[in-house]
A and B are shown apart, each in its own frame.
Chain A
Amino acid sequence: MEQHASVDWDIIIKPRQAWWKPDLREFWHYRDLLWLLVRRDLTAQYKQTILGPAWLVLQPLITTITYTVMFGLMARLPTGGIPAMLFYLSGIVPWTYFAGVVNKTSRTFVSNANVLTKVYFPRLIMPVSTTLSTLFSFLVQLGLLILIIGGHAFFADFHWTPSLNLVFLPVVILLMTLLGLGAGILVSAMSTKYRDLGFLVSFGVQLLMFASPVIFSPEMVSRNRTIEMIFNLNPMTPVINSMRTMFFGGALDWYGLGYAALASLVLLMTGLAVFQRVERSFADVV
């Protein structure tokens, strides 16, 4: 015992390790793995497809065209003075990102079980790398959105003056990222025990879209108090509304963004706590 003090151990494996302080130094050591995993996600995804990365652009475009025809031309839903195509695309792009992060990170443990039971590395690398690769896809799609807005302003009868609020765009993107990552790791950890959650999530995220302003504009929603309340409970509502405000004008909903920030913080903290509990017992359960 008397000798222990003189040796500075690098790794100490104990039954319980504090969940509230993830080992950031170690995470930093594995940063190359993080980037390699992001690259793997991006390259492996489109190997052996004919259109390759073009799918990144095609997916939101086709969805937008469908929505424009269905909800814009046929159902004639109001879009708050924004051209229908721009309205739907500006909702679909952030929603695809959020849904992608939740869906993909929620499968962290289940789809990487073979690696996670064979080798040690900071487990958080996995969901963070998935989030980053999804963020990359989102940025490409955001570029598409800006291109199409520009195209509208140039060719169509649409007057566009970029709002100064656009400087807050990174904040909104950060909020979406944290919301998605928080919800995703929470589900990933819980679904190691309750497999049902995995199914519930992809389905639930799909349903949640209808409680967000992707399709329904705020003026439509405000007609019914209950529906408006449900919409406002969804932290993605102020996020999408703010994105539209930034691009198409209007005042930012700071209260809503504050609520989204609070929700993202709570989700992320709970997610981190549960995730770190599960990453330790995971190998014993599968």
Chain B
Amino acid sequence: MSQDGTPRVIQVQGVDKRYRLGQAGGATLSEDVGAWFARFRGRPDPRIPIGKEVDGQRVGTDFWALREISFDVHQGEMLGIIGRNGAGKSTLLKLLSRITLPTTGEIRMKGRMSSLLEVGTGFNPELTGRENIFLNGAILGMRKAEIEQKLDDIIAFSGIQHHIDSPVKRYSSGMKVRLGFSVAAHLEPEILVIDEVLAVGDTEFQRKCLGKMKDVSRAGRTILFVSHNMTAIASLCSRVIWLHDGRIRMSGPTNEVVRQYLSTYNEHGESRTWQLGEDAPGDDLVRLTGVTLERGDVTEVLTTATALRVRIRYHNLAIADNDLNISIHLYNGEDILVFVSGWRAADPNSPVASGPGSVWCDIPADLLSPGDYRVVVNFHRNAKVIFQVEETIAFELHDVKRNGAWFGKRRGVFSPQLVWGAEAS
């Protein structure tokens, strides 16, 4: 029993997870047999590259996806897990879901646990929707009688009653997701571990799912929810764990942790540069060398009435790369994607020469609402994202007093200056 009276249902204690890079195994059986035979005779492993340290276990490159993770979850709690890509969220999920085992440490759970890393796992395209409900439900740990009992609810929730007896291969991807989520939503485990399955489906269905999850937690069940979506995290979770580089960076009430987490995006301010050949992100052909917010007077406070120019500097390592495209994603302080804008859509003909270059994007004045913003830069080639840089620049737009204008407390994502008129009739 804990201090606040609810029993502890998950206990994670000193969990580490190590992956061995480039050591998933010998390429052939004969190499492995040779290595095994050499070890058997007390000789060094012939696979070890010359010059590398030979010390039993320490050969190969270790990558610690998780380090010293310990936390408790109490019954009925909704715990959010946040962090950047590569922070260890997925690894933690896999451990909690029993798909992989920890290198050290122990995880204990009380009650029935189900995990949803994906909806519709194990759907067989040849079988009908109804047959797949049974199969998918059973894979997720439901008994057949339980599925039969909930079958009507599951079908009704999915909203695809008319196609329930057609093979799933004729379903659209949206229908598959709906069916998969409906099955998952009717699981009644004491502990539910969910990955970002909510990132799919249309808005109405997402709302339905969020509502269902709230119901589940009200019924006294425990939910662990991993997401990039701070809005969903804030509306669902009471407590959040923030993972950073495989360790718990912060853990506590949702608002505090999310605020801290989002503020790390502002570390670099209005300009960030990278050194070519050192830390510049990119691939073999092109590197990002800088992102800057340009404006006339740098001492001036940024307001919603300031026209902004985002300049992105790159270095082209190839001869010419005219298939290159660059886009920016603008996120606001609530982590809502405000817009996406691409260079080539507006300026299709400018060449990309070899060497350094830059592109710019103007964000007009009187468009955005006051608040915090951050820019994510994507590089594309032939309509495919080649790399994404999440941490570039961030800025804050202050409110500006306009003549006779009163916008009130409620604002939209945008606060554009639109054309109004009046006529006497």
Contact = CB atoms under 8 A, between A and B. Distances in A.
Interface string A100-120: 000000000000001111111
Given A40-B124, A193-B25, A10 B112 contact: yes
B296 interface: no
B141 interface: yes
A196 B29 contact: yes
Contacts of A197: 29
B117 A119 contact: yes
B101 A13 contact: yes
A283 B19 CA distance: 11
B220 interface: no
Given A13-B101, A36-B144, A119 B121 contact: yes
Contact of B100 (A114, A194, A284): A284
A14 B14 CA distance: 11
Interface stretch (A43-51, A245-253, A265-273): A43-51
Given A43-B127, A47-B126, A283 B99 contact: yes
Interface string A2-38: 0100011111111111000000000001101101110
B106 interface: yes
A32 B138 contact: yes
Prevailing SS type, chain B contact patch: loop
A12 B108 contact: yes
Contacts of B113: 11
A121 interface: yes
Interface in B154-194: 167
Given A118-B118, A119-B139, A44 B127 contact: yes
A280 B101 contact: yes
A9 B108 contact: yes
Nearest to B144: A32
B203 interface: no
A57 to B, nearest CB: 21
A115 B108 contact: no
A29 B108 CA distance: 20
Interface residues of A, number: 41
B95 A13 contact: yes
A7 B8 contact: yes
A179 B116 CA distance: 36
Contacts of B7: 7
B24 interface: yes
A283 B106 CA distance: 18
Interface in A179-222: 193-194, 196-197
B12 to A, nearest CB: 9
B140 interface: yes
B100 A283 contact: yes
Interface string B92-128: 0011011111111111111111010110011010110
A7 B95 contact: no
Contacts of A44: 124, 126-127
A14 B1 CA distance: 23
A158 to B, nearest CB: 42
B134 A36 contact: yes
Contacts of A280: 100-101
Contacts of A8: 110
Contact of A283 (B94, B121, B140): B94
B117 A40 contact: no
A75 interface: no
B137 to A, nearest CB: 9
Contacts of A36: 134-135, 138, 144
A285 interface: yes
B139 A15 contact: no
B68 interface: no
Given A40-B127, A119-B97, A194-B28, A33 B107 contact: no
Given A30-B141, A40-B131, A48-B126, 7 more contacts: A11-B98, A11-B107, A11-B110, A29-B143, A43-B131, A120-B99, A121-B141
Q: Which 5 A-B pairs have the closest CB atoms?
A: A33-B138, A120-B98, A32-B144, A9-B108, A13-B107
24 contacts: A7-B8, A7-B108, A9-B110, A11-B108, A12-B107, A13-B109, A15-B103, A32-B138, A32-B142, A35-B144, A43-B127, A115-B122, A115-B139, A118-B118, A119-B115, A119-B117, A119-B140, A120-B99, A120-B115, A194-B29, A196-B29, A281-B101, A283-B99, A284-B100
Interface of B: 1, 7-8, 11, 19, 24-25, 28-29, 32, 94-95, 97-113, 115, 117-118, 121-122, 124, 126-127, 131, 134-135, 138-144, 167
